[in-house]
Amino acid sequence: MIRKRLIVLFLAPASLLYGGLFLLPTLSTFYFSLFNWSGFGQDMTFVGLNNYVRLFNDTVFWLSLRNTLAILFVGGFFVFGLAFLYTVLITSGIWGKKFFRLVFFLPNVVSVVALAGMWAYIYNPRSGLINTTLSTIGLDSMAKTLWTSPNNIFWAMLAALVWVFTGFFLILLMAGVDKIPTDTYEAADLEGASLWQKFWFITVPMLWDVMTISFVIWMINAIKMFEFPYAFGFLQVPQQLYTLGIYLYIMGFGQRDPIYQLGYATAIGVVMLVLTFVLIVVMRRLLRREQLEF
């Protein structure tokens, strides 16, 4: 029996820190988003839903939203396509399974800033890894591609992002595959099932729960995406790379010059939170189905 005194004592520190520095600040953004507020220590003027009306008419906001959704859906398509492909390949009985898992997951333990620096160089037009390798193997016309020109930079960033996150979801899916009883596959092998049939009729249904959680994790991560595109843009992040998180930061703090549109910035934060929770609810609805027994 755990006494009440101990319950309170054990819960108080975590609740205070979490409540005071995480939950309440989050809720306070709803309040701040109703004000015109041009700097810490400045007066706040109540403007109602004006900030949201402004967002609706702000082309940069729509661009940031479009980029965020492109990360979520286009990026997600490739992340999960590749994570599934490589889960099947790595668990198909090839030698060195653990080593491959280690390498695929590696980008997830390394500083995002370091990765951004690395990728800037991979894409470097004159001396980067891609163009150098292309010209070494004789593809000289392709070796002149400017991977980070304004038209390409978002997709270049997204490719790097896919490289990072594929490894993350690969280890989740592989852990799910490890839980599937091996005799299921052995039975399928006896029946002469192909790799594709085994994937579609055994792996996918058995992995449903892991998939649902993976999709939710990806959704949360995609909507709050800030660090990688921000570091990838270096000193002056180009608008082509803006996500909701980056636009919020720019509106709140600016880059080289401060902007301090704090009320407006918090309204972007509210949009991010609402988007996250709406999409999670919609997705859980879509993916809900009978619990599978095995």
Subset of residues 252 to 271 that bind other proteins, contact rule: CB under 8 A: 252-253, 262, 265-266, 269-270
- With CA atoms as reference, report the closest residue to 143 among 155, 153, 131: 131
Strand, helix or coil for residue 233: coil
Site size toward other proteins (CB under 8 A) is 97
To the nearest whole angstrom, how small is the minimum distance from the Cβ of residue 154 to other proteins? 19
- Tell me the closest approach of the beta carbon of residue 197 to other proteins, in angstroms: 13
Q: How far is 181 from 191, CA to CA, in rounded Å?
A: 17
Sole window of 25-33, 44-52, 56-64, 144-152 interacting with other proteins (rule: CB under 8 A): 25-33
- By CB under 8 A, residue 272 contacts other proteins: yes
Which of 141, 183, 190, 192 binds other proteins (CB under 8 A)? It is 192
DSSP labels, 118-182:
HHHHHT-TTT-HHHHHHHHTT-TTGGG--TTSTTTHHHHHHHHHHHHHHHHHHHHHHHHHHHS-H
Can you tell me the distance from the alpha carbon of 157 to that of 232, in angstroms, rounded to the nearest whole number? 7
Q: Which is nearer to other proteins, 116 or 240 (CB)?
A: 116
Residue 142 binds other proteins, judged by CB under 8 A: no
Contact characters 209-248, other proteins, x per CB under 8 A: xx--xx--x--x--xx-xx--xx--xx--------xx--x
Interface with other proteins includes 294 (CB under 8 A)? no
- Angstrom distance (rounded) from CA 195 to CA 185: 10
